[in-house]
Structure 1
Amino acid sequence: MTQREDVTFTSHGTSCAAWVYRPGGDPGRPVVVMAHGLGGVREMRLDAFAERFAEAGYVCLVFDYRHFGASGGEPRQLLSVRRQRQDWAAAVAFARTLPGVDPERVVLWGSSFSGGHVIAVGAQDPRLAAVVSQCPYTDGLASSLAVRPLTSLRVTARALRDLVGSWLRRPPRTIPLAGEPGTVALMTAPDAVPGYLALVEDGSTFRNEVAARVALSIATGRPGTRARRLACPALFVVCERDTVAPAKATLKHVAKAPRGEVVRRDTGHFDIYVGEEFETTVRDELAFLGRHVPVA
């Protein structure tokens, strides 16, 4: 029987909130470390994935980044690529200390923006057993070109004002994560609001805003280039009708992963979290884990 426990760990002096899913059975289990994408928190369907992995015998550690969700960190809604990757490293170190876990069989699981994080973090940790990256953000230029030029200009202007304000120690200027087409938001594709915000449960800690300066990091980031440095087996689930992380650029990057496997879904960026696409994606990911990081 699977049990879920609330735990915390420390990342650079700040407490990160997490869930640990523990399946019954013998010790020495693999552990899957999980966190959400752009501005997301644990309650936005990560529990659904973790429950399936735990039912299959995997321990799961699901955490919120600093500045988000139930984790500490001020100011709130500050998204720093560097800090989030530090949180991943801290989560992995903590996962290796969990009772009943095999510290040499740690798997990173990321989705969307965190799909890029797990590529970058995985390239730096040769001890990892595997990486699972679904609908990953891999190329900031490709993602930026998928946005209307006028929207990009308006987002960039707000990001620059927020960045300058941070130098003057002013509170962050925020920007919506998801907005309707033509509005000023980080994700404005037609499926962004119905797809992303549909993942938010009642009572969730999620806020549809983030410090605007992160738009500059998104536009210039290219975590997909690190795929060639992944030493462990890696599964990439690519959505061919992805409006946020265009599939063409992603496929180009992940093809260079030495032990990479690619699953292509004829679906959109937000579809794989729910319904039949969720079921299919979970089956593919469990099949990959069963081949490369079996429970037994």
Structure 2
Amino acid sequence: MKITVTFNANERLLEAALYLPDIDTKDPMAGLLFEGSMTGATTQITEYMARQISQQGFACLVLDHSFYGDDELSPQPWESPAKRIQDIKAGFKFLQAQPLVDPEKIIGVGVSVGAEFIAHAIRETEFCKGLVMIEGPYDDSQNYVGELDVPTVVVDEDHMDSAIDQTVLWVRTMWDTNRQWPSRDNSIDWSLMDE
């Protein structure tokens, strides 16, 4: 189910698509915020992914950024990275305030350079608990992994349905109480895996 929602980002009214599962859930669900590439042209990709992933029991938000489409300001032919990061932070805050979303289970999903924008927003807020970076062969968003204090994963975007499956699986394992995530100081010794 797709619901059009609005919220403010630094006195600018934004519009977003909130995708919810078609089934009723009693418990709050994880919330995923999707962010596309620099031009916003990947809205079709992010909306497709959000629609598919929401059917797995997640609330998925896709932003319509300032200066793009349906917000209160007319579209402009330029990009404002600072305003885009403000929009993402406002999107995280919106998800956290929703009663159907568990505020401790909010994940960013960045497609291409969208992952870099989410990484910047994560550094400036504590709303987001993890980052899925969906990358093509020429993306370098992985360079931001070491700078974040949240778990991250890189997913190959070449096969969209596989990327969706990997995203769902990774988000579900985020809250598996038996899973221990290695910290930077407690890295995995892979040499022991061969014994």
Distance 1:115 1:13 in 2: 24
CA radius of gyration, larger in: 1
For residues 65-124 of structure 1, give each alpha carbon's deviation from its aligned partner in whole angstroms, at most 9, with x where no partner exists.
100021233561320111111111111111111231111111111111212112222233
- Between Structure 1 and Structure 2, the one with more strand by share is 2
Query: What's the % identity of the aligned pairs?
Result: 19
Partner of 1:289: 171
Pick which of 79-88 and 42-51 moved more: 42-51
The DSSP-based 3-state class of the residue aligned with 1:118 is helix
2:96 counterpart letter in structure 1: R
Distance 2:72 2:78 in 1: 11
2:91 counterpart letter in structure 1: A
The DSSP-based 3-state class of the residue aligned with 2:44 is coil
- Report the CA distance between 1:47 and its aligned residue: 2.0
Distance 1:64 1:41 in 2: 11
Distance 1:73 1:42, change over 3 A: farther
Partner of 1:230: 148
Partner of 1:117: 117
Partner of 1:134: 134
Distance 1:45 1:134 in 2: 11
Partner of 1:7: 5
Matches within 5 A, 1:111-260: 111-135=111-135, 225-237=143-155
Partner of 2:14: 16
2:169 counterpart letter in structure 1: A
Distance 2:99 2:75 in 1: 33
2:39 counterpart letter in structure 1: G
- Given the two structures, how large is their TM-score scaled by the length of structure 1? 0.53
For residues 210-264 of structure 1, give each alpha carbon's deviation from its aligned partner in whole angstroms, at most 9, with x where no partner exists.
xxxxxxxxxxxxx765422312211112xxxxxxxxxxxxxxxxxxxxxxxxxxx
Question: Residues 85 and 117 of structure 2 are in contact (CA less than 8 Å); yes or no, is this contact kept in structure 1?
Answer: yes
Distance 1:70 1:77 in 2: 14
1:235 counterpart letter in structure 2: V
Instruction: Give the number of aligned pairs.
Output: 173
Distance 1:108 1:8 in 2: 19
Ranges in structure 2 where 5+ consecutive residues have no aligned partner: 177-195
Distance 1:123 1:56 in 2: 28
Partner of 2:58: 58
- Given the two structures, how large is their TM-score scaled by the length of structure 2? 0.79
